[in-house]
Each structure stands twice: as structure tokens, then as C-alpha cells.
């Protein structure tokens, strides 16, 4: 019984070490009230992609409510071109499927008009030219911050790999939450976008030319997993170019009981000397990824620099003057918190005072592993065997002596 209690204690300690091993502090404020705080790239790097493991604690270790917002200027609906709705299917407690027909020759993003909601949705997007054979574009992405402070609906822009499919299919996962109300799907024709982004810096980026394959390969390595939303290519030559490229990862899969490595395309893009703008990619959350550029019969592009950015994320929290707040994150088993504060988004000012997160510290998890020995390796079992062996030897020795005495008397 004592042994079992000891094992449970060790496992509990191990669980504590495995949880929330990244900490940080929030700079104290001078007045009570709501504050807007940028979530630094390092915090996002050490957390789950949706930040469901992110927690704020006060000096008494009470959780402090907050909600997340992506701070960007949305285009107005006056420049909205709606796609033709082909079908909308809802399977209760399973999924919602929306199929639209796009008139665009090529498309690298689409916009959803959604009735205000405070849920987070997982979704997949695929493309087709005949509605029979579908090809994946985005897999298991997250849709959140679905509430507008200015109206009853919100426009959400989804970055897509550059494609020319006639039909697009969006599948929302409704297993854990009720469906969201998507009113229309389309694109902005005259959009004004002023996305707030923050630059993230890779540990290394290596450019390799493959003349025989007519390709340029760029291997990007970060110190830890990072969220990447945009890539900027600054070129020095040639003067005119138009190249296709893709972002991909190396993945492992099992086919017929054999394991193989394959390239998984995340996004496709076009580099064009007439359209020098950031390349939007389906959100990456990786440590290593690859950029592949098709040169055809042209000379490879020469780059002065390649820069990487992530969309800036903010949190809103109600803080007290002089209070010491501590952040903990990094627990892979944590689920998203549910705070009352999120229900009051629409009543809050857009011009809140700001403070910041600092002293980000990632601790090494000293995991204690407890492995139960097999019964034949247990100390008590070994001594039992020795004891039984001794008794058996003693028994046969006594019996042998008696037999020898009986034989001598005859």
C-alpha cells in the first residue's frame, strides 16, 4: 500500500513538471482597468497554437480573465464580391459543409461573413473543378475572434494556397460546439488592409540551387516552433520575373505497414516583379519548413533578404494597479478557458491603454519516469525464490540423510 502511494506521488510530481513550463511577467500598471497587451512571438512559440494553455495569475494565484483579439483593420462590405452558394449541409453534432463556386481565375484568400460568436472553430478547406474529386488546401485550421465591436457580423479573411479551383468546400467541425452562422462567402474587391504584424527571425535560412531540377530550395529553421503568416522576398535580380513556388514540410506516413517520408504542401505562391507584396501563407506553426521556387529555364532569383512575419495577437485583461501578475503556459493537455469577460467585448473601447509581457522564461522539464519492474525482477520475489530454494535443499538433504541411515541399518 505504501509502495502504491509512493508511485502515485511520483506520478503527480511528474505531471506537475510536465505542465506549464514557460513563465513570464506582466509589467505592473498604475491604474485599475482594462489593458491591451501584445502576445510576444516567444510566448506563442512555447504555447499551443490556439493559446488554449495560456493563463494569467495574480499574486494570490487566482486566474485572471482575458480574451484574445487579432488587431487588424478589416475592409468594408461595400467592396465585397459574393461567391455563388452551391450547397450548405449541416449534420448535427458532427459538421457543417459549405460549397461555393468562385468566378475568380486564381484565388489566394477568401472572406467569410459570420454572425457574431465567441466560439473557436476547427475547419478544413478543399478545392475541386467537378465537385466529385476534391483536393486539400487547408487542414485543421482554427477560426476564432468571431465577434465585431462595430456590428452584428464580422468579416474573416482566410489565406489560401494560390489555386484555380472552380469550387471551394469549407467543412467546420461541430462535434464540440454548435455551428456558426456563415452568411456569405466571397472576396473583397477594393479592400483596405493594414494588418499589424511582428517580424520573427529564423535561426538559419539556407538557399540551395538545383540546376538539373531548375529549382531553388530554401530551408528555414527557427530555434523553436513559430507561427508564420507572411513571407517577404526582396530580390536584386533579374529585373523581370514571374515564378511559382510552394511552402512544404517533410512528414512521415505509414502505407501498407511501411513508413515513408513525403513532402506535404502547405501553400503555393507566385513571385512577380510587378506585384511586390508580402506572400500570405496558410498559417504555419513549425520549427523547420521549406520554400521551393520553380525557375524553368530562367536564372535563379537573387535575394537581398527573406523576412518572416506573424499576425500580431493581443489580449485584453482587467488589471489592478501595482499588482504582480504572472503568466504560465506550455501545458499540452490544457483546454481553452471560459471567462465572463469575453461576453463584454462589444462594450469595450478600441483605444485601451497598453502594458507589456516581459521576462519570458522557459524551464527545462525534469521528468521523473517511474517504470514498474517485472515481478521476477522485484527484490521480494528474488528473496522468496532464495528462501524456497533453501527450504527445498534442506528438505532433500534431510531426506537423503534418513535414507542413508535406513540403508546402513540394513
Model confidence over 98-131: pLDDT tens digits? 999 998 778 888 889 999 888 888 899 999 999 9
Q: For residues 310 and 197, give the distance between their C-alpha atoms in angstroms, rounded to a whole number.
A: 5
Range(s) of the domain holding residue 357: 2-71+312-362
Same domain, 332 and 299: no
Tens-digit pLDDT profile for residues 7-65: 444 444 444 444 458 999 999 999 999 999 999 999 999 999 999 999 999 999 999 99
Cell, residue 147: 465577434
Same domain, 334 and 240: no
Same domain, 215 and 245: yes
pLDDT for residue 69: 86
Same domain, 220 and 266: yes
Identify which of 30-44, 68-82, 392-406 has the greatest average pLDDT: 30-44
Q: What is the CATH number of the domain that holds 139?
A: 2.60.120.260
Same domain, 232 and 170: no
Same domain, 236 and 291: yes
Residue from 173, 175, 50, 180 nearest 112 by CA: 180
Same domain, 210 and 266: yes
Same domain, 382 and 338: no
Inform me whether the pLDDT recorded for 147 exceeds 70. yes
Q: What is the pTM of this model?
A: 0.60
Q: Which of 47-61, 72-86, 214-228, 308-322 has the lowest mean pLDDT?
A: 72-86
Same domain, 95 and 27: no
Inform me whether the pLDDT recorded for 403 exceeds 60. yes
What mean pLDDT is predicted for residues 92-96? 93
How far is C-alpha 386 from the geometric centre of its chain's CA atoms? 56
User: Per the domain annotation, does 298 fall within a domain?
Assistant: yes
What mean pLDDT is predicted for residues 138-142? 84
Final residue belonging to a domain, choices 136, 162, 188: 188
Q: What does the CA dihedral 281, 285, 290, 294 come to, rounded to 10 degrees?
A: -10
Tens-digit pLDDT profile for residues 151-166: 788 888 888 888 889 9
pLDDT for residue 79: 67
Same domain, 174 and 106: yes
What mean pLDDT is predicted for residues 339-368? 80
Final residue belonging to a domain, choices 164, 188, 212: 188
User: Per the domain annotation, does 368 fall within a domain?
Assistant: no
Q: For residues 10 and 3, give the distance between their C-alpha atoms in angstroms, rounded to a whole number.
A: 11
Element (H, E) at 46: none
Q: For residues 160 and 282, give the distance between their C-alpha atoms in angstroms, rounded to a whole number.
A: 6
Same domain, 7 and 39: yes
User: Per the domain annotation, does 367 fall within a domain?
Assistant: no
Tens-digit pLDDT profile for residues 267-296: 899 999 887 788 888 889 999 999 999 999
pLDDT for residue 224: 92
- Which residue's C-alpha cell is 522576398? 233
User: Per the domain annotation, does 48 fall within a domain?
Assistant: yes
pLDDT for residue 20: 53
Tally of domains within the chain: 4
pLDDT for residue 285: 94
Q: Which has more pLDDT, 211 or 80?
A: 211
Same domain, 288 and 234: yes
Parallel, antiparallel, or unpaired: how do β-strands 313-319 and 302-311 relate? unpaired
Q: Which of 68-82, 267-281, 298-312, 327-341 has the lowest mean pLDDT?
A: 68-82
Amino acid at each position: 500500500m505504501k509502495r502504491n502511494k509512493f508511485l502515485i506521488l511520483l506520478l503527480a510530481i511528474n505531471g506537475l513538471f510536465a505542465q506549464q513550463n514557460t513563465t513570464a511577467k506582466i509589467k505592473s500598471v498604475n491604474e485599475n482597468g482594462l489593458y491591451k497587451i501584445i502576445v510576444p512571438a516567444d510566448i506563442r512559440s512555447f504555447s499551443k497554437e490556439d493559446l488554449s494553455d495560456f493563463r494569467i495569475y495574480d499574486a494570490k494565484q487566482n486566474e485572471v480573465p482575458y480574451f484574445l483579439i487579432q488587431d487588424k483593420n478589416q475592409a468594408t462590405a461595400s467592396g465585397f464580391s459574393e461567391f455563388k452558394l452551391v450547397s450548405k449541409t449541416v449534420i448535427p453534432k458532427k459538421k457543417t459543409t459549405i460549397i461555393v463556386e468562385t468566378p475568380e481565375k486564381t484565388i489566394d484568400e477568401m472572406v467569410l461573413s459570420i454572425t457574431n460568436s465567441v466560439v473557436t472553430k476547427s475547419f478544413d478547406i478543399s478545392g475541386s473543378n467537378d465537385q466529385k474529386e476534391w483536393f486539400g488546401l487547408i487542414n485543421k485550421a482554427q477560426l476564432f475572434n468571431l465577434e465585431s465591436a462595430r456590428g452584428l457580423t464580422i468579416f474573416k479573411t482566410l489565406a489560401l494556397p494560390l489555386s484555380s479551383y472552380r469550387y471551394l468546400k469549407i467543412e467546420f467541425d461541430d462535434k464540440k460546439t454548435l455551428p456558426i452562422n456563415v452568411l456569405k462567402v466571397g472576396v473583397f474587391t477594393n479592400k483596405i488592409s493594414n494588418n499589424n504584424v511582428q517580424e520573427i527571425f529564423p535561426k538559419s535560412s539556407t538557399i540551395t540551387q538545383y540546376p538539373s531540377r531548375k529549382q531553388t530550395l530554401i530551408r528555414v529553421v527557427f530555434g523553436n516552433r513559430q507561427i508564420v503568416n507572411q513571407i517577404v522576398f526582396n530580390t536584386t535580380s533579374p529585373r523581370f520575373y514571374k515564378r511559382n513556388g510552394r511552402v512544404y514540410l517533410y512528414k512521415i506516413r505509414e502505407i501498407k505497414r511501411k513508413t515513408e517520408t513525403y513532402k506535404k504542401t502547405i501553400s503555393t505562391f507566385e513571385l512577380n516583379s510587378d506585384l511586390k507584396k508580402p506572400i500570405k501563407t496558410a498559417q504555419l506553426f513549425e520549427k523547420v519548413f521549406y520554400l521551393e521556387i520553380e525557375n524553368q529555364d530562367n536564372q535563379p532569383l537573387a535575394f537581398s533578404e527573406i523576412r518572416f512575419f506573424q499576425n500580431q495577437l493581443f489580449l485584453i485583461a482587467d488589471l489592478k494597479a501595482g499588482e504582480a501578475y504572472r503568466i504560465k503556459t506550455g501545458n499540452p493537455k490544457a483546454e481553452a478557458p471560459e471567462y465572463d469577460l469575453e461576453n463584454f467585448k462589444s462594450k469595450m473601447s478600441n483605444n485601451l491603454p497598453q502594458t507589456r509581457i516581459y521576462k519570458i522564461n522557459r524551464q527545462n522539464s525534469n521528468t521523473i519516469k517511474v517504470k514498474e519492474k517485472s515481478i521476477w525482477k522485484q527484490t521480494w520475489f528474488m528473496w522468496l525464490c532464495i528462501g524456497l530454494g533453501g527450504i527445498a535443499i534442506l528438505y532433500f538433504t534431510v531426506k537423503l540423510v534418513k535414507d542413508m541411515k535406513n540403508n546402513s541399518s540394513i
